[in-house]
Structure 1
Amino acid sequence: MKKALHLWHRYLGLIIAIPLLVISLTGSILVFKEELDHLIMPELAKVDAQVGTRLPYDQLNTLLKNRFRDYEIGSWEIFDDGQTADRIYLIKHGTLDWYKVYLDQYAGTVRSEPVPANFYLTDWLLDLHYKFLIGETGLWITGVASIILLFMGISGLVIYRQFWKKFFSLRLNVKRTAFFSDLHKLTGIWSAPILLVLGFTGAYWNISEIIHHQFEHHDEEKVVTGPLYNQALSLDAMAKNAQTQMGGFRTTYLLFPFEEGRQITFFGEVGDIGVLSSEYSSTVTFNKESGVLEPNFDIREAPAFFTVVDSFRKLHFGYFAGLTSKIIWCVIGLTPLIFTITGSYLWLRRRKPNQSRKQVPLSAQL
């Protein structure tokens, strides 16, 4: 059993080596996505509003509609930290194509013209990380890679089931094969818990997205030709109503009805629910035509399953404990590079004696 598991561990590791390297390296970079955006394009992503308040949603919405008459707003990332610009995602009329612009929510100025959603460096890396830049096919690839990563982590712990004896076992004054073997095992022991979390959460998201595409709206996608909701409705009134309906609710994301069956949904966070609760944990929804309040979702009243799923965001991106957890997640995300180098070397070393023997004439082997 152990021998078979070892073989599966070895060959599956070789199969997913390249995809896993791409996923892990991009993931390590994306842990600091916000910081990188502020650093490399501050004129777009960063605002300076130490004194001041956000402008009303309706005022900003009117500004966007007048500026981009050939587009409709599909979603709106909302920030009120005085440092990060709002991110607006537009859908071009007559298409299914999404575009992105930056908005200074304090000064009321649009920072950029519409560009494809994966145009900027970190957005391109996110698309590479999540879909390998090839859409739904990429979802399948990263989903399978995540499942195999789960198997690799579990099988590695089973193969070296007495791993607790080797938490600090790294022989230095030995041959390269022995050193690489120790490094491979030691790296796996230390990184396995986090890699299992990353693999599980990644696989869950990919599978969920695939199911959504295949069964929920695949045949319902329609091009956008005009307003997605009743333009007489006030976003400010709905936002105020959301706060009234759900005590402590703070809006962080606004989703418009770009698909059949969707309404206007305010995503946000509420207080006193734990360090792993995401900033999109709760929702308040309004009818897109009448503005009537529809059933909301308060994470504080939800079953445990939904609380666990909501925690996946912070667990996957590692920002639940500030800079400390981000650094740990970034470093652990680089460990597949060590696995690939050491694992490939050990595999080649094991094959070399057999290959050398095959090259010797049969008469010399007798």
Structure 2
Amino acid sequence: MKLIDTLHRWTGGLIGLLLALLGLSGALLVHKNAWTLAPHAGDPRVEDVRQLAEVTQRLMADPAMRPQSITYASDDFGLLKLLFDNGRGAYADQQGAVVMRWSSQWERPELWLFDFHHHLFSGETGDWVIGIAALCGLFFVLTGFILWWRTRRTFEWRLWPARMSRPAIVRHHRDLGIIVAPLLLLSLVTGAVLVFRPMAALLFGPGAPAQIDKALAPPPPRNAGLAGRLDWAGMIMTAKARFPDAEVRSLSLPRKKGGLVTLRMRRPQEWLPNGRTTLWFAADSGMLVAARDASTLPTAVKGYNLLYPLHAAKVGGLPFRLLMTLSGLALTLLGSLTVWTFWFRRPARPARPRQIAIRT
């Protein structure tokens, strides 16, 4: 038990601040669409596919001004997000008129906050650090329950320590941790599996990671460059004809030498904000190459696709967003107070009794 307590304290002291920052940024991102300030952000989503097709054709027609991707308006955010190279981007209304531009993500708090929470501003390296932090968080929850069990008879409901003394903070830490443990487990497990896909085997069975990789892989790359003129409107209409009940969510240019334009859609039964129903079009001709219906994916893959909506509170409406906000804020409080008590409020060592030499 002493070893568990030591590992729990030292690991918390070393990584608690990172978990606190991830919890706070996550709590803010849950409500990102509500606090992102831009003209027409509150407009209702346009469902007319012909208007979407015309706007897409207009935005993508000029190769010199063509965005690398378009994310279409959703039910809670009424703007198109256009991303260009070198971090540039813009918001446009649903008629295609640009209402706001930026030359770097640092000009938009919703963008750099998202980058911090998902990548620590460090790309794949940041992903790994966040994944390790999530695993440490799971270790804290499990060992915290073991350590709390010994003192369960002193449990009290407190949102804040009774005093800012180390014993009071430690007691509050244990009691608050046990209250929010289910929410923390949800946040940490989903976050860890999203970073470390092999961990999906723990949730969906031993063969799940390979099954997920295979099911979500794009078609083989094509040796085709992006044509100067394509029937972008025709791609939207083709996709809508293929999946009439699906919502058009995003359009992306080929990555590197893939030779495929990717169009993602969201069917009614999907929880993912941008869906996994996907169509690929040849970059040189605009012809449909392949299509994937998310409703036909294997059960393990469907389960994996539920993780991000649960982690980011993209389902369940306001009540679930508030629960995940509580999870993030609790992680912030637990992590920050852990670091403070470990490094700055450590108990003073008792003074050794002075020895008096007796002369004989």
Output the TM-score relative to the length of structure 2: 0.78
Look up the match of 1:122.
110
Look up the match of 1:215.
none
Cα distance change of structure 1 residues 266 and 178 upon mapping to structure 2, 3 Å threshold: same
The one-letter code matched in structure 2 to 1:328 is L
Cα distance change of structure 1 residues 260 and 363 upon mapping to structure 2, 3 Å threshold: farther
Cα distance change of structure 1 residues 237 and 184 upon mapping to structure 2, 3 Å threshold: same
Out of 75-84 and 314-323, give the one that drifted further: 75-84
The one-letter code matched in structure 2 to 1:314 is P
C-alpha displacement of 1:19:
1.2
Please tell me whether residue 180 in structure 1 is matched to residue 144 in structure 2.
Answer: no
Look up the match of 1:10.
9
Please tell me whether residue 105 in structure 1 is matched to residue 105 in structure 2.
Answer: no
Inter-partner Cα distance in structure 1 for 2:122 and 2:274 = 29
**Secondary structure of the residue that 1:295 maps to in structure 2?**
strand
Inter-partner Cα distance in structure 2 for 1:206 and 1:175 = 36
CA offsets 1:141-165 (integer angstroms, 9 cap, x no match): 2222122112212222343358987
CA offsets 1:291-350 (integer angstroms, 9 cap, x no match): 333332222111122112211221111131111111111122011233235435664799
Give runs of ≥4 in structure 1 deviating > 6 Å: 162-167, 171-175
Identity %: 21
> 1:246-285 to 2 correspondence within 5 Å?
246-261=243-258, 263-272=260-269, 276-285=271-280
C-alpha displacement of 1:31:
0.8
C-alpha displacement of 1:253:
1.3
Q: 1:42 is matched with which residue: 38, 44, 47? A: 38
Q: Which runs of 5+ in 2 are unaligned?
A: 198-223
Look up the match of 1:203.
192
> 1:214-363 to 2 correspondence within 5 Å?
229-261=226-258, 263-272=260-269, 276-344=271-339, 347=342, 351-354=346-349, 356-357=350-351, 360=352, 363=355
Inter-partner Cα distance in structure 2 for 1:82 and 1:34 = 7
C-alpha displacement of 1:56:
3.6
Inter-partner Cα distance in structure 2 for 1:60 and 1:194 = 41
The one-letter code matched in structure 2 to 1:296 is A
The one-letter code matched in structure 1 to 2:23 is S
Contact 1:194 1:332 in 2 (8 A): yes
Q: 1:142 is matched with which residue: 130, 133, 142? A: 130
CA RMSD of aligned residues (A): 3.5
Inter-partner Cα distance in structure 1 for 2:190 and 2:162 = 39
Look up the match of 2:26.
27
C-alpha displacement of 1:50:
8.4
The one-letter code matched in structure 2 to 1:103 is A
Inter-partner Cα distance in structure 1 for 2:356 and 2:50 = 86
Q: Which runs of 5+ in 1 are unaligned?
A: 92-96, 209-226
Contact 1:74 1:258 in 2 (8 A): no
CA offsets 1:26-78 (integer angstroms, 9 cap, x no match): 111111100001xxx232x6154689957645543454357x76454221101
Look up the match of 1:220.
none
Contact 1:57 1:235 in 2 (8 A): no
Cα distance change of structure 1 residues 9 and 364 upon mapping to structure 2, 3 Å threshold: farther
Contact 1:47 1:104 in 2 (8 A): no
Output the TM-score relative to the length of structure 1: 0.77
C-alpha displacement of 1:89:
0.8
Contact 2:56 2:233 in 1 (8 A): no
Cα distance change of structure 1 residues 173 and 123 upon mapping to structure 2, 3 Å threshold: closer
The one-letter code matched in structure 2 to 1:363 is Q
